[in-house]
Amino acid sequence: MPTAMKIGALLFVSAAASLVAQTPVRRATSGPAALTGTWQGDAPAGWTLVLQADDTTISGAVSSCSASPAVEIANARVDANTITFTCTSLDGDRTLTFSGTYTANEITLTWDLRVREGGKSPDPGDLFNVSNSPNRFVTPRTLTLKRGGAGAGALALDRIADRRRMTRPAFSPVTFDRILHADKEPHNWLTYSRTLDGQRHSPLAEVNVSNVAQLDLAWMWPSRASGRFQATPLVVDGVLYTVEAPNNIFALDAQTGAVIWTYSYTPATGARATGGGGFPNRGVAILGDTLFMGTLDAHLLALDARTGKLIWDTVAADFADSACKLPDFPFSPCYAFTHAPLIVKDKVIMGTSGGDGGVPGYGIRGFVAAFDAKTGKEIWRRYTIPAPGEPGNDTWSGDSWKTGGAGAWITGSYDPDLNLIYWGTGNPVPTNDGSSRLGDNLYSNSVLALEADTGALKWHYQFTPHDDMDWDSAHVPVLADVRWQGRTRKALLTANKNGLLYALERGTGAFLYAKPYVELNWVERFTDTGRPIVTQKPKSQWIPRRISGTNWHPPSYSPKTGFFYVSSRERSDDGPGNSHGDIQAFDSHTGERKWTFTRKDTWFNSGVLTTASDLLFIGSTGDFYSGPTAERRENGYFVALDARTGKLLWERSLGGSVHSTPMTYSVAGTQYVAVTGGNNLFVFAIRR
């Protein structure tokens, strides 16, 4: 459920590096407790805290504190006449908890320090040193703020205001027409895949093959994510929006990383997903002046993009439904939202995750649903498993359809000319034993083409009938025109976990081709309609293995090269040294492999970004067992390749695994490339 937080982010900063955060604040409706105005207090250690509040936002800064870098305050709450908030050191080891009361003319605060288990104690000159030293936070640790704000505090606020005016353009509502024609504003990243066709290709070209070696870190933002940092940020006119797992939204200055506002949401106890460490979130969507986020407990939230204020909260499914929650396992996965929403016209499109499990009779019934962007009201729902009387229900034995899984947990794509939404579906449940769900199990392991206005099923294609290899098909469908058999086709491209790269005709679902991109032996041929004819080998001998092939990480298509780019992995049973990660380029017209870039003993477990300057960016993960002692490593690298040849041009170690997909944007004429590594967001630009 949402916290009672109404002040979402303040900042402690040095005068030399003043930053700002703006965030919604609940103002007292009447009486002496109203916060509106400017407040200032001088601490015993010589630093000054200034707060400035109006009807909707609050800003804060500290001056004369040169020993400490900018420190963000979050998790704040205003209740009646009390204020509480925390600030955490940049390394995450130390947290100060502030609490106090306010009246018409005074705010009185006290604070305490907590060092996490195994964390470092503060250095003598650190803002977080709360020892009894007379030069630091002395006992009692109190600070009184008065109305006013003259002197150093006012100067800090003036600098903040000047910086904000200079660096960030005025907010302009993001209409659906802007999203639909994203190539008209290549400096922004307005939807999960940048464009609705899922291509993840940017027209930006300032960073190019000749200068990419000069990429350097522009800024870094440390999150305190409780799960893998998998979100792809949005960038809208100089503001970057991202999600700290599981469900905290941050608006950052896209040039500096300064926090503008935060919104925190605490999912209900027991909410959990099957992947991403159990608590993933892959991003937000925007329409007009509203941000949208799905939550781990299957809510859909709408927030004011300017302030972070909650607008509405829709419960889309029961995260604790007894049909999927095992009685003795309260943290078993059930209904959840983990992907970034897709905006189509005036609708927010979401699909549920939770489609994994091993117990017959327990599981979700997957769905894709559309919600009104203004109100949150559900407009239509398309279940990924048909009910009795609907086409395809006879592909499930008995009542297995009721809990058959087929989640829809990765963002889809949209073709405005056909008015069709394309969405991939996950594996059936139980995951690895199909004996209780005989039949093809439609529409699991499929891509669905849905009418955008009604959710009606136009066509489907099932990649793996009756899957019990965990080859779910939750991938971003990529829409591109290809030449096939002498004709230009409006195609849908996808690389599947079953080891095959597919091209389908996206108007009808007609099968064009399927080509192996990793070693496989389970399929012998295809019928004219694209149904696989499987081998007679026992399934215990089928390859690719469950952890080989690609996963959910989005591919990319470059209109410049005509290549389709896929990250993949090959895991060998022969032990370390024989497994590897690949990024591969395929001719989209034929499915022919053009080049492969390989790294031993690591995986390219991120999505792919390409640019108009023939660059390809991708990240690697360290959660791979290797070496003589099979140790787990966290050694993620971020690399840039020549998109035409696969040649390595640049790389940086990020220290932690890369689980997100790179993206790029531009502010004030400078191109930035962003990616997560571990729990940090890294943003690079050309060294000046």
The residues carrying an active-site annotation are 470
Q: In what order do the strands lie in the sheet with 478-484?
A: 478-484, 487-495, 500-505, 511-516
Residue 557 has φ and ψ, to the nearest 5°, of: -125, 130
Residues counted in the chain: 688
Bridge-based pairing state of the strands 367-372 and 457-462: unpaired
Residue appearing with tokens 């053009």: 594
* CA 487 centroid distance within chain: 37
DSSP 623-638: --EETTTTEE----EE
Beta carbons of 608 and 661 less than 8 angstroms apart: yes
Residue type for position 624 = F
Token pair in block for residue 47:
């630093």
The answer to whether 197 and 653 have CB atoms below 8 angstroms apart is no
Q: 210: how many CB neighbours lie within 10 A of its CB?
A: 9
Rounded distance between C-alpha atoms, residue 357 and residue 326, angstroms? 10
Strand order in the sheet with 413-415: 413-415, 420-424, 446-451, 457-462
First-residue to last-residue Cα distance in the chain = 46
**Interatomic CA distance for residues 598 and 662, integer angstroms:** 19
Q: Give the CA angle between residues 455, 456, 459 to the nearest 5°.
A: 115
Using CA atoms, how far apart are residues 56 and 27, in angstroms rounded to an integer?
8
Q: Tokens 């969405």 label which residue? A: 423
Residue 120 to residues 94, 115, 130, 569: CA-CA distances in angstroms?
8, 7, 14, 37
Closest CA to 634 of 618, 646, 623: 623
CA of 150: how far to CAs of 46, 57, 66, 143, 160, in Å? 15, 20, 19, 17, 15
CA distance 497 to 517: 10
Tokens of 584: 């591969």
Gyration radius of the chain's alpha carbons: 26
CA angle 89, 25, 17 (to 5 degrees): 40
* Dist. CA 189–CA 665, nearest whole Å: 6
Residue 181, both tokens? 């024609």
Long-range contact pairs involving 481-487 (C-beta distance under 8 Å, separation at least 24): 482/512, 482/588, 482/589, 483/589, 484/512, 484/513, 484/589
CA distance 194 to 494: 17
CA distances from 205 to 202, 487, 595, 665 (A): 8, 31, 22, 10
Helices H / strands E in the chain, number of each:
2, 46
Identify whether the C-beta of residue 562 lies closer than 8 Å to the C-beta of residue 589. yes
**CA 62 and chain centroid, separation:** 32
Spatial neighbors of 548 by CB under 8 A, at least 6 apart, are 499, 518, 519, 568, 569, 570, 571
Other C-beta atoms lying within 10 Å of the C-beta of residue 577: 12
Going by the DSSP 8-state scheme, the letter that residue 654 receives in this structure is -
